[in-house]
Structure formats: structure tokens, C-alpha cells
Structure 1
């Protein structure tokens, strides 16, 4: 099954915000031995959104839609999904319970609309503020906020598509940074550990060896092959941006 993403919002096309979802989805999929087949950016144009969703529903592919499911007038995705399916937009009973539990009387008259989904929808739990996303078949709708959206995507993949996960054996790959010192790179290392929780990260400093007389650090990532390749490419780029000379390190099975 191919995987695609729709990323919605005028703010992305105008440059007011930089998209973070695309690279995150690539990492999330790679951690499960999966890869992204396509991505499409859309502004807050109901006609374009509806047309894109019609294609998504008809494709039979696994699609994640980011953004446009809030309660403000520029949030069109829920209504577009209902029209694309030819269904009514109604408040989902579980969503009603969650939204009322979160906001009480202040859920009305507007916040409750965040639980209005196409009639056939099922909910996607939101671990951050309890306001759910929703699924219609293989098309899954999550908020535009990364802190909410990414764990919701992971939940969908791990709950409904575990059969698509790869059981490829883990690999280990890395590189060597010449004249590098651990203390200068701790913040960068922590950033990558946080960014790639599915991988194991290693750091082996050396004052020099027969093969490499200079002081150096050998870095490594181990885990699913696709995710290791992405992490290592980003790591090498980050080190080179800081002026370090790199050497290759043989891959280990």
C-alpha cells in the first residue's frame, strides 16, 4: 500500500511558516520500514481540498492529511471530507464526550465543532489536548500542530497498519569526525537522540589510533535500515556545517 500526505494551510504556501510534517512523516515511516510515495501541499481553498480528498478516498492508498480540522472559519478540511464522501458532517459521540470533558460549558457554541466529522468517521486519539482527529477508511486527519499530529500518526500506523511494518533486521552505520570533542557536540547529540527515538545512538571518542592518528569521535546509529540512512545523512550534514572533516566508518550488520 502506497503512503501519501496532504499538508494544508495558506501559511505554508505564503512562507509565514516552514513545514515540518514532511520530514517527520518520512522518519516515522522509516522507523517502521515504510516509505512515503507522494506529498501534496494545499492552501485553504475548499475546492482544491475537496478535490484532493476525492482522489485520496478513491485511491485506496494510505493517506495522512495535516491541518484544517480546528474550529476557526479557515478550517475547511472536515467539511471538505464530508462533501468528498457524500456524507453529512455530524458531531461524533466520542468526540463530543472528549470535547465536553476538556472544555465543559465552554465547548459551546464553537469548540464542539472540532468533533464534527463525516458520518462514517472513527476517531484518532490526541494525547496532548484530547481533541481527536478522525479516520475515514484509509485516509486519516490530524491537526497541523506537530506535537499533536506526529504521535497521532504513529498511533494510526501502530494500531491499524502493523501488517505493513517491515521486519528487516537492524543495521548499524556511522561516520568519524576528526578533531571533534564530545563537549562541543552534546547539544547536537541530544537533538538527534530526541529526533530519532527509534534508533540507538553511539559516541566513541578516541585520542588517536594506528588507523587514525588524530583525535576523533566515531558516531553510530543502529536500527531499521531506512531510518538509519536518513539519520546518518542528517548527522553528516550537521557535522560538516560545523566545519568537521569526516571519514567513513564501515557499516556493521
Structure 2
């Protein structure tokens, strides 16, 4: 079972806002011994969102979708999810009640009376319309819920809401997948070496230790650093140490200059 991330919003593709979800979701998963398998960024295009969700619903992937579940004309995610599943979009009673309670709370805090039948408040109830059979994802920020359907989890685009909601999903529904000791990583910085010359060693290591992946991240260098390659192995801890020892031995035989590197996120 793979984990995917969909980030929705024209503002991301246009550069008006910088995406914050990708690095945070990587961090949240890594803290639980999990890893993101893929990510996609989509604009506010209902047909494209629908086509993407139709494709991802056909897998058994765990998918987090951030953005587009509001009630303005540029929000299409709820409708697209329903269309992708060929299900009706229906008002979820508990989600609707949460929104009404939120409207009343805001009015009380402002010392005002709220007319729940006012057009602007009725429009907000659209945020409680989900594909038939959807379950709620609680929103600790303002109690306006997201929704879950078929291992797909739809949360708002606002990080202050989305991130605790994603954490709740992971800890509530997928704790059985957690394995904080399941992966290890070791790496070195190899200086002034051609990546192509090191490729045979990488191929050998992956062939010998099937639960290990080799990664190679070249850097052209700048005024402060020399040209180098971050070369390492990651995967099952019981194989990583042996693979790393072979990597270092191969570099020694090659006559390469290298130093240990601090591993990044898994």
C-alpha cells in the first residue's frame, strides 16, 4: 500500500503561494516510519481533478488531498470526488450541524445574532456536502470537517487545519502501518568523482541487497563547497549496514575521496 499526496490550487501553480504541504507531509510520515510514494499538484480544474481521483480511487493507495473543499466557485474537490466515484453529493448531517454551531459561536463572540437561514450561511453548508458514504475528518481549528472515502482523505488547503487533520488520520486509521525502526540510511560525500564511474558499484549493491536502494545526489559546488556527490544506501536496517560497508570498500578501491554525510529525511 503506497501513500500519495494531491495538492490542489491555481495559486500554487501560478506561484502566488508557495506549497507547504509536501515537506510537512514527508515529515509527518517519516516520524511514523512511513514514506510518500508520489505527489501531484493540480489546478482548480474540475475535470482534471475528477480524472486524477478516478485513477487514484482505482488503486489501494492511501491518498491525502489538500485544498478545494470550500464553498466558493473555485472549489471543486468535493464535486470531483463524487463524480470520480459515481456517487451522489449529499449533505452530511453531522458536518452540517458542526458548521451551524460554528456560525452561532462566531456570532456570540461578536455579540451578534445569527440567522442560520441567511444566504451566506446556507452557502457555507455546501462545505458539508460530501460523496455518499463519506466519513468525517475532525478539524480542530474551526470544527468544519473534512471527509474520508475509500482510503482517500480530503482536508482544507490551510496548513493550520490540514496538518493536524492528516496527523489524526494517520494515528486513528493507519497506526498499524507505523514502524519507526523499519528504515535506515547511511551516506557519504564523494568529492570530484564522476557519477558514471560509480554507477557499477551502485548496481552491484542493489543486486546484492534487494531491500536496499542506492541514492546519488550530485552537487556542482559553489564558492563555499567543492563539487561532490552525496552517495548512500537506505532501506531495511539489517541490510543497510552491510551494503554501506560494501559501498565504502568500493570507494576505497576506486581511490575516491569521501567523508561521512549526515542522513536527511527517509
Deviant stretches of 4+, over 3 Å: 247-251
Q: Distance in 1 between matches of 2:48 and 2:179?
A: 34
Is contact 2:33-2:182 (8 Å) kept? no
1:250 Cα deviation (Å)?
A: 9.0
Provide, for residues 103-156 of structure 1, a one-character-per-residue CA deviation record: whole Å limited to 9, x for no partner: 132673211110100011000000001000000010000000001000000000
State whether structure 2 residue 50 is matched by structure 1 residue 50: yes
Is the CA contact 2:69–2:127 (under 8 Å) kept in the aligned structure 1? yes
Partner in structure 2 of residue 236 of structure 1? none
For the structure 1 residues 85 and 169, does the alpha-carbon distance in structure 2 shift closer, same or farther, using more than 3 Å as the test? closer
Query: Measured at CA, do residues 99 and 37 of structure 1 come closer, stay the same or move farther in structure 2, by a change above 3 Å?
Result: same
**Change beyond 3 A, Cα 1:250–1:132:** closer
| Preserved contact between residue 31 and residue 180 of structure 2 (Cα < 8 Å) | no
Matched with 1:79 is 79
Give per-residue Cα distances to partners, 1:152-179, cap 9 Å, x unaligned.
00000000001110041899x9xxxxxx
Partner of 2:67: 67
- 1:36-68 superposed Cα distances (whole Å, 9 cap, x missing partner): 000001000111000011111111100000100
> Which residue matches 1:135?
148
Q: Indicate the residue corresponding to 2:134 in structure 1.
A: 121
Structure 1 unmatched ranges of 5 or more:
174-224, 226-246
TM-score (norm 2): 0.63
Counterparts of 1:58 and 1:144 in 2: how far apart (Å)? 24
Aligned to 2:175: 162
Unaligned 5+ segments in structure 2 are 105-115, 187-235, 237-258
The secondary structure found in structure 2 opposite 1:157 is helix
Match for residue 144 of structure 1? 157
Residues 91 and 129, structure 2, Cα contact 8 Å, conserved in 1: yes
2:93 maps to what in 1?
93
Aligned equivalents of 1:136, 1:49: Cα separation in 2: 16
CA distance in 2 between counterparts of 1:17 and 1:250 reads 31
Tell me which residue corresponds to 1:110: 123
Shift of 1:249: 9.2
Coordinate RMSD, CA, aligned: 2.5
Structure number with bigger Rg: 2
Output the CA distance in 2 between the equivalents of 1:101 and 1:150: 23
Aligned positions, number: 180
Change (3 A) 1:250 1:85: closer
